[in-house]
Chains A and B, each alone.
Chain A
Amino acid sequence: MTPALEINNLHKSFGKAEIIRGIDLSIGQSERHAIIGPNGAGKSTLFNLITGRFAASSGKVSLHGQDLAGLAPFEINRLGLSRSFQITNIFPKMTVFENVRCALLWAKGYKYSFWHMVSRSRDLTEGADAILEQINLTARRDLPAGVLSYAEQRALEIGITIAGGADVIMLDEPTAGMSHSETDYIVDLIRKVTEGKTLVMVEHDMGVVFGLADRISVLVYGEIIATGKPEEVRGNPRVQEAYLGAALEAEH
């Protein structure tokens, strides 16, 4: 079976600084894959390379076997890959409901239509309301997204990402800045909505990572130093040395 996402010898430099220094990674269909690593390791940059936000300096990314080179973010999205952002990236002046509805439009096949009335489309309204229910924002439905609390905006960010029903979902630190109970809720939500889908997730919270991931990759200074099942990675001495030991200690 072709992997959902395959990365071969990926490099990225910003000027002289080489941030991604040769990454090979293969993520299978319906796998939940976590990417961990210290700050500035290049995790978000890797996301940006995969999703077409930045062009790679060299190397190859393929989605379901299709080479993504030269494709714009919107083209990659249409192939069934959706992502969230570490820094909340929503439509602040539009209502919460509209945020989600816009995320549904392409997936529901409306494309650039100027002959449908969005308010008359039951599938849009019901679909968006169902997502709002899932992310617990029904009470905020008609407020401008910009006035929501930080945690609510994070939830909306995830809602927008999953709304289109993409089969590869990439989340960049979905629980960053959330309280314990909010984190638990979001983790449950992620588990639920990514059922049967491929999930790639950057996460600092080790509890979340070990609870959710089928496999983990450890990214340090632009290189993946280990990939494997959670327990393998946990036991890997290089990981312990480079990252995990410190992180696990910090947890306690």
Chain B
Amino acid sequence: MTDISQNPQARQHGGVTLRVAMPWIVGAFLILVLPFVFQSNSAITIMNQMSITIIFALSYNMLLGQGGMLSFGHAVYMGMGGFLCVHVMNWDMFGSLPLPVLPIFGGIMGMVMALIIGSFSTRKAGTVFAMISLGVGELIAACSVIIVVFFGGEEGISGDRTYGMPFLGYEFLSQIEVYYLIGFWLFVSALLMFLFSRTPIGRMANAVRDNPERAEFLGYSSRWVRFNSFVAAGFFAGIAGGLFAISYEILTEENLNLVTSGSILLVTFLGGVGVFFGPIIGAIVFTLLQTVLSLETEIWSLYVGALFVATVMFFPSGLAGVLMMHAPAFKLGKWQMLIVPYIKTLVPAALCIVGIAGIVEILFHARHSAVGETEMTLFWITFDHTSIMPWIVFAVLAIVGFWITRKTAPDLVEAWHAATTPDEVSR
């Protein structure tokens, strides 16, 4: 996933080198072995969700990161793909269709939708594109309650994946079988999307993103370049929708509404739009927060929102961007210099966050719990929200944590500068 043009080895051979292939080998390996590490059913469900979100986010980044198109309606293509796949599950012919092939129907559906909508929405990038995507998203979501035959109204439509033709003897009754089906599609989709970004049209998508006018003077129609990316993104979103249909066997209006469209923007941005693997990180982190955090607290989305705002404000290149900032330190072999400063900053920062989260949780509990129910458990400690002690403890944590972080952060920045610049002597 490294940029080939920045990789001198690949430049010379112009072919596949180990360095280029390595992330994919590691990725495939992880997909294969993760279920042996996390064996519980709920863990596998989370990983399935994660894989689907990764495909969806990568597809979204074909628009945002690579093509410079800010879409507020990308869930439409995933949702439509998903709906079609559930319908296919209910057709008679499904009995003679192996389940792993089903997502292709979703992909084609997403692609057809993108062909139709992209034909007018990709005329311009920028605000015009964003507004059209928002309008179309709203429109399709509204259709979903009107066209009941296809969308199934409020309760959506459901199917049964196990009616498909057994594939190599598997009927996909268990979660783990579904996991490998999704894992296969994750690998294939991610690889295809990566390869797309290396083709002439994929490179021109970057050029059109940077400067659509100049691209026109190089022989390329900006609109046609955008349209192509848009259709390809629609296809992969549809694949994700098909996998969603397989995994959950039900689709509702929620799958294509603006909330879902908004959250994939958030996921992608959180991970980082500037590098190919950014959305993968975003999808992993977001899914973990969504699933694990939501078990712990009802107001998990508040924390996700705060994380998003913090990312946009302080790390506009996302988590992947933060990782990439450290690449020089590893190349120069000076990463050890960063360990101590990081501990000195991150530990108090974590304490500060714990403090703030504690206060927010107590407030939330005090406002929303049933009358008389004053006992609550937080960070494995049970206490009474009316007593003053927890307030003091969390407030002290927050303030002291914040204070220390502020004191040590400049050292961290300095250490980072030192670690990422070559030594004077070695020049």
Residues of A within 8 A of B (CB): 51, 53, 72-74, 77-78, 82-83, 85, 89-95, 97-98, 101-103, 105-107, 110-122, 125, 142, 160, 164
Contacts and interface: CB of A to CB of B under 8 A. Distances in A.
- 4 residue pairs, one from A and one from B, having the closest CB atoms: A106-B219, A110-B200, A91-B210, A73-B216
Contacts of A119: 4-5, 10-11, 14, 198
Contacts of A74: 215-221
Interface in B2-34: 4-6, 10-11, 14-15
Contacts of B14: 119-122, 125
A192 B6 CA distance: 30
17 contacts: A74-B216, A77-B216, A77-B217, A77-B219, A82-B217, A90-B214, A91-B210, A105-B218, A106-B220, A111-B200, A112-B204, A112-B220, A114-B196, A114-B199, A114-B228, A118-B200, A119-B10
Interface of chain A: mostly helix, strand, loop or mixed: loop
A226 B364 CA distance: 81
B116 to A, nearest CB: 19
B218 A97 contact: no
Contacts, number: 114
Given A91-B210, A92-B210, A119-B11, A164 B199 contact: no
B248 to A, nearest CB: 31
A118 B214 CA distance: 20
Interface of chain B: mostly helix, strand, loop or mixed: helix
- The number of chain B residues touching the other chain, given as a range, is 20 to 34
A111 B221 CA distance: 10
Q: Which of B5, B198, B224 has the most CB of A within 10 A?
A: B5
A111 to B, nearest CB: 7
A74 B217 CA distance: 5
Nearest to B224: A112
A91 B5 contact: no
Given A74-B218, A105-B200, A105-B218, 7 more contacts: A90-B211, A112-B224, A112-B228, A117-B198, A119-B10, A120-B14, A160-B218
B218 to A, nearest CB: 5
Nearest to A91: B210
A101 B207 CA distance: 10
A169 to B, nearest CB: 12
B202 interface: yes
B225 A112 contact: yes
B228 A98 contact: no
B158 interface: no
A8 B199 CA distance: 41
A101 B15 CA distance: 17
Given A83-B217, A102-B215, A116 B10 contact: no
Nearest to A80: B219
A101 B221 contact: no
B311 interface: no
Contact of B206 (A73, A78, A91): A91
A183 B144 CA distance: 64
A72 B5 CA distance: 31
A75 to B, nearest CB: 8
A113 B214 CA distance: 19
B128 to A, nearest CB: 18
Contacts of A89: 211, 213-214, 217
A164 B220 CA distance: 12
